[in-house]
Structure 1
Amino acid sequence: MASRPGVNRTIIAQTAGELADQIGLEKLTLSLVASHLGVRTPSLYNHIEGLDDLRRELSLHGMQELDRRLQRAALGKAGDQAVCAMLQAYRAFAKERPGVYASTLHAPGNDDEPLRSASQAIIDTVLTVLKPYNLNPDDAIHIVRGFRAIGHGFATLEVANAFGMALEEEESYHRLIATFLLGLNRVSESNLRPNREQA
């Protein structure tokens, strides 16, 4: 089998991501990646240390892509409109790139600074959009977790074809977001109320 020119760590990760989206992350193997790249499996070790290293690289690329999508979704928007747009972007990413998305779900270890930075960048993007709500630090993190749970949970159920009733899923997601925003705004108002009373 002829070696494909230009194979590097980034191209290997991109190919692995495409395969993971098609067949599932758990079925991804180095031999499959090598076959799609037109190289022998041992050739991959010139660029990666093994399957765990490949999955780590895939996770890094996935986190960076998710963060870019969230930032693009929020661009030019603020408040509820920005949160809604980001939740739509989160759901779309999880559905469109299920294998890559699956690689991003585990919290990175303390010793992996690039992964930790990529993970924190996503959190920071959401926190930036939440600033106008005047949340205290603990409330903000709880809201970020809720944000992630909504996007992840709904998309995961959709990918698994778990919604069997004859109701529009898009409408259900809009209502879920609306309910989340009601709670978010209530927390925001409760944080602002003492300041108003003092004034």
Structure 2
Amino acid sequence: MPRAGLTPATVVREAAVLADEVGYDRLTLAALAARLGVALPSLYKHVRGVDALHQKLAVLATAEIADVLTAAAAGRSGGDALRAVAAAYRAYARQHPGRYPAAQRAPDPADPEHLAAGERAVGAVRAILLGYVLDGDAATDAIRMFRAAVHGFVALEAAGGFGLPRDTDRSFDQLIAGLDRAYLSWGNR
């Protein structure tokens, strides 16, 4: 019998907390079983294996990021929305250093929940780009540019990759200001 109160959703939520504590790359079923106080084979009643756990964690983290980005964009437009969404993305990565990497997985086409979460996350950025008069292929390029720039900054920051004596918040603001200028120039073509 599975432990009372232990459900697949509980397992994934605890895996997310554990990933934030120990790191995504150190998330194992054995560590999760120990955290939950169950024998390792008991976890297989709730998740098929570590790959399935990582997939479920990717769905959870992607949905969380989608919620954060959507909330940050609400009631804003243009550069104000871009700054708010970028700041929310960065804050999520800082607050959830273990689950953030899971959200970088491209949505699994066989997982409708993951696809929906991915669409919501991308949709939050796409909505901002409409204010820059960017749609179609230009919007796709701009979404990729946003993600690459912000993720690159967040990843370097998390790895301690910024050693120069300049405030990283100021540098981040300059990065987003550069994206704003680029998007404005694309929209005016």
Shorter-chain TM-score bucket reads over 0.9
1:125-150 residue CA offsets vs partner (Å, 9 max, x unmatched): 21112212221301101110111112
Greater alpha carbon shift after TM alignment, 117-126 vs 176-185: 117-126
Q: Which residue of 2 aligns with 1:153?
A: 152
| Residue pair 1:91, 1:151 contacting (<8 A) in 2 also | yes
CA distance in 2, matches of 1:132, 1:165: 35
Q: Which residue of 2 aligns with 1:95?
A: 94
Q: Which residue of 2 aligns with 1:31?
A: 30
Corresponding residue SS for 1:48 = coil
> Per-residue deviation at 1:91?
1.0
| Residue pair 2:129, 2:135 contacting (<8 A) in 1 also | no
> Per-residue deviation at 1:110?
2.6
User: Which structure 2 residues correspond to residues 113-192 of structure 1 after superposition, within 5 A?
Assistant: 113-190=112-189
Q: TM-score, normalization: structure 1?
A: 0.90
1:64 counterpart letter in structure 2: A
CA distance in 2, matches of 1:136, 1:130: 7
Q: Where does structure 1 differ by over 4 angstroms across 4 or more consecutive aligned residues?
A: none
Q: Which residue of 2 aligns with 1:41?
A: 40
CA distance in 2, matches of 1:113, 1:188: 33
Q: CA RMSD in A?
A: 1.4
CA distance in 1, matches of 2:179, 2:128: 15
> Per-residue deviation at 1:97?
1.0
Instruction: Give the number of equivalent residue pairs.
Output: 188
Extract unaligned runs of 5+ from structure 1: 191-199
CA distance in 1, matches of 2:49, 2:71: 33
2:177 counterpart letter in structure 1: A
| Residue pair 1:4, 1:37 contacting (<8 A) in 2 also | no
